Amino acid sequence: MHSGRYCLLFFCSVFGWPGSLFFASAFRKGIAGASLFRVAFFFPNILSSVAVSVLWMLLYSTSSFGVFNSILGSLNQVLIQLGWVDRPLVSTPFEFTNSAILAWSLIPMIVWTATGFYMLLFLAAMQSIPDSLYEAATVDGASHFTQFRCITFPLIRDTVVTGMVFLLLGGLKIFDQVWVIEQQQSRPDSNTLATLMYSKVFNEYQVGYGTAIAVFLFILVLVFSLATLRLYRREALEFS
C-alpha cells in the first residue's frame, strides 16, 4: 500500500498555500480582474469532487481530447524543429492516470481545488483586520511585505492553523479522486487508506480488516490534529 506516498505528495502540494495567501492579499487590495480570478479558483469547490475528477480525466486523456497530451505533442515537435532534441522528450500519448504515477498527477488537481478554498478562508480573515493598522504602518514607512509579515500574518494565524488541520485531514482521507480515476478499482500502486478500507469492506467483505483501517485512520487524524493545535496554540489576539 502506498498511502504514505499519497499523504506526502498531498503535503508537497502545499506550494498552492503561498498562492492562496498571495491571491487573498491581492484581492483585499482590489487588483484588476479580482472577480474573474475568484471564480476561476473557487469553481472546483462548487462542483463535486467526482465532477472535478472526471474533468481532469478528460484533460489527462490519451485521446484527441486530452489537453496535456496535445501540449506535449506540440512541445516535442517544436523542440525537434528547433534542433534542441533529436527525439521526443516524452513519448505521447502519455498515460498520466497510470497507477504508478497517479499520485503525481493528482497534485495539480488538488492544488487547484485547495487554492480557491484557502484563498476565501484567508480573505475572510484578512477583511476583519482594521484598516487603521495598515494606515499607521504606511505612515511609519513599512513596505507591503513588512505589513504582511508584521500585521496580516500574525492576525490570521488562527485561520492558518485551522487551514493546516484541514490540510492534514484532507491528506489522510483522499478517496474520491483516486476511486474515480481508477474506475472504482483497488490497485496496489494507487491505494490510499480510504480506498483500501472501502475495498476491504465492500468488495472483499473483510469487515474486520476494513474496521481496523478505519480505527487507524481515526487515530492518525486525531494525533495530527492535536499535534497541530498544540504546536500553534497561543493566546487570542484582540483588536484594539
In this predicted structure, what is the pLDDT of residue 41? 79
The verdict on pTM exceeding 0.85 is no
Q: What is the pLDDT of residue 8?
A: 52
Average pLDDT over residues 108-124: 85
The predicted pLDDT at position 212 comes to: 94
Q: Does domain 3-231 have CATH number 3.40.1010.20?
A: no
Q: Identify the sign of the CA torsion 136, 140, 144, 145.
A: negative
- The predicted pLDDT at position 166 comes to 80
Residue 44 has pLDDT above 80, yes or no: yes
> So what's the pLDDT on residue 236?
46
**Which pLDDT band holds residue 235 (cuts at 50, 70, 90)?**
very low
> Which three cell numbers, joined as nine digits, stand for 17?
498555500
Strand residues in the chain grouped as ranges (E): none
pLDDT, residue 112, reads 84
DSSP string, 167-184: HHHHHH---HHHHHHTTS
Q: What is the mean pLDDT of residues 45-49?
A: 85
